Amino acid sequence: MSSISVVIPALNEKDGIVQTILAIPKAELESAGYEVQILVVDNGSTDGTAELARKVGAQVVHEPKRGYGCAIKAGFRQAKGDIIVTFDADGTYPPDHIPSLLAILEQENLDFLTTNRFAFMKDGAMSLRNKIGNTILTLTMKILFGLKVKDSQSGMWVFRRRILNDLKLKSNIPLSQELKLEACYFAKCRWKEVPIEYRQRVGNVKLGGWKVGLGNLFHLFKKRFIR
């Protein structure tokens, strides 16, 4: 039997965590022959996110060091599945797409699958500022590394856990773009970018705006010369 670990980083996501977990088509995946592990990485929540996640069947991992990358990497360390799936806890990504994404990974014999949020983005799902910033970062990635991606910052991926042994993941906030660079550019994995829906978030926005964007831009240039 194949196994899947769903890794969900969460910081004060009490408004969205339950519906996010319940949207995972666990029964469908199990009937298709997958053993499913659902991991919520609590990144220091103070609003009861962890307790809510446990009540609906998730395994909770506590990562006190704040930051997206710290949370994701903590989840990777606890993941037992042959395949890892990731997305946020705020309702923006579509857990119901998991079976179709898995089918693409398996049928096309891929190692790594990333997603494009811009293909089917719902109205109000992303601010104009973030759209501009994402466009700049994606274009920079194309220029520096030659990777033909349309969404360098997407946080929904499906990949085989074994590739983690070949990746050097050192960043925190820029982890999403670093994972793509490591898998697709440095490790030369078989990969594909797939369009998904992207929806309005549930709860309050936590990203740091232009400061985060500039940090990610600097990381791209640094990564080009120092792996």
Backbone angles phi, psi at 120, to 5 degrees: -135, 55
Find tokens 């053993």 and name the residue. Answer: 35
pLDDT, tens digit (0-9, with 9 covering 90-100), for 185-206: 999 999 999 999 999 998 776 6
E runs forming strands in 11-74: 34-42, 59-62
Supply 85's token pair. 């799936």
Q: What is the CB neighbour count within 10 angstroms for residue 73?
A: 22
| CATH number 3.90.550.10 is the correct assignment for the domain at 2-225 | yes
Q: What pLDDT band is residue 135 in, cutting at 50, 70 and 90?
A: very high
Q: Given this model, what pLDDT does residue 211 score?
A: 87
CB 141 within 8 A of CB 149: yes
Q: Report yes or no: 113 and 107 within 8 Å, Cβ to Cβ.
A: no
64-109: pLDDT as tens digits: 999 999 999 999 999 999 999 999 999 999 999 999 999 999 999 9
Which band of pLDDT confidence, cut at 50, 70 and 90, is reported for residue 210?
A: confident
Cα(206)–Cα(12) distance, integer angstroms? 10
Domain edges within the chain: 2-225
pLDDT at position 208 is: 62
Contact 16, 203 (CB under 8 A): yes
Query: For residues 91 and 199, is the Cβ–Cβ distance under 8 A?
Result: yes
Residues 6 or more apart whose CB falls under 8 angstroms from that of 194 comprise 101, 104, 113, 114, 115, 116
User: What local confidence, expressed as pLDDT, does residue 215 receive?
Assistant: 95
